[in-house]
Amino acid sequence: MDRHEMRLMILWAVLMLITLMSWESSSRGVLHNPVLLTASVLVLAFVKVRFVILDFMEVRHAPVAMRIALEAWGVIACGSIIALLFHASA
C-alpha cells in the first residue's frame, strides 16, 4: 500500500469518527441548546465536506484558484446556513 492509499484510509477513519461524534452528540443531546447542537453538527458536516473535496476529489493538488474557490464555497455555505439557523431561532 502506498502513501496516498494509506492517507485515504486514515482520512476515511477520521471521517467515520466525525460521523459517530455527530450522531452521538445529537442523539444524547450533549448541548442542551438545540440551535448550538445543530450548528455544531453542521460544522462537523462541513469539515467532512472539506476533506472529501480536498482528498477524495483530489483538489488538494489542483490549481490554487480552484482550491480557493472550493474552500471559500465551504466557508460561505456553512456560515450562511448557521447564520440563517441563528436568525430563525431569534
pLDDT over 90 at 48, yes or no? yes
- Note the pLDDT tens digit of each residue in 55-74: 989 899 999 999 999 999 99
- Note the pLDDT tens digit of each residue in 3-39: 989 999 999 999 999 999 888 877 776 667 888 888 9
Place of cell 459517530: 20
| CA–CA dist 61, 63 (Å, integer) | 7
Number of neighbouring beta carbons within 10 Å of residue 83: 11
Angle at 61 between CA 58 and CA 63, to 5 degrees: 110
